[in-house]
Amino acid sequence: MAASLNKVILIGNLTADPELSYTGSGTARARFAIAINRRYKDATGQLKDETTFVPIVVWGTQAENCANYLAKGRSVAVEGRLRIDSFENSEGERKKVVEVVANNIQFLGGPRSPDPGTSQPAPSQPEPAGKDTKSPDEEVPF
């Protein structure tokens, strides 16, 4: 049997908030799409923009984390495998579904911003006087 590899690594921005659902057995599944932008020069030398939209599905704890911490516009790196499936719709037409089944999602950029009507967390309190105020970076031995 010949060797094969099905691995996808993508970086893009969420096109909408993730949709979280659970299977009958209680396994979490999150679905979202990312937009991947590409800028190139055409044959005439004019700059063109191209956007590719890629559907992503992620399972388990990572699915719940995505639903809790990701929002539309957030940058992510996705590592997974390409899945292509086909089915027949109610009109009898053959349709194909292409998606990335993620096994690792890395959140990029800043944290999810709170919704405008929700209360902000209280600012952190200053350290009491006399307490050691070394930053964690000062304890790194290199």
Q: How far does Cα 47 stand from its chain's mean position?
A: 28
pLDDT tens digit sequence for 82-132: 999 999 999 999 999 999 999 999 999 866 555 555 444 444 444 444 444
DSSP element (H, E) containing 82? strand 75-88
Q: Give the residue from 96, 98, 94 showing the smallest Cα distance to 83.
A: 98
Which residue is listed with tokens 């800043």?
110
Q: Where do the domains of the chain lie, and which CATH numbers do they carry? A: 8-109 (2.40.50.140)
Which residue is listed with tokens 């950029």?
109
DSSP 8-class letter at 72: T
- Do 7 and 81 contact (CB within 8 A), yes or no? yes
What pTM value is reported for the model? 0.72
Cα–Cα distance measured from residue 61 to residue 45, given in angstroms and rounded to the nearest whole number = 47
pLDDT tens digit sequence for 21-51: 999 999 999 999 999 999 999 999 999 999 9
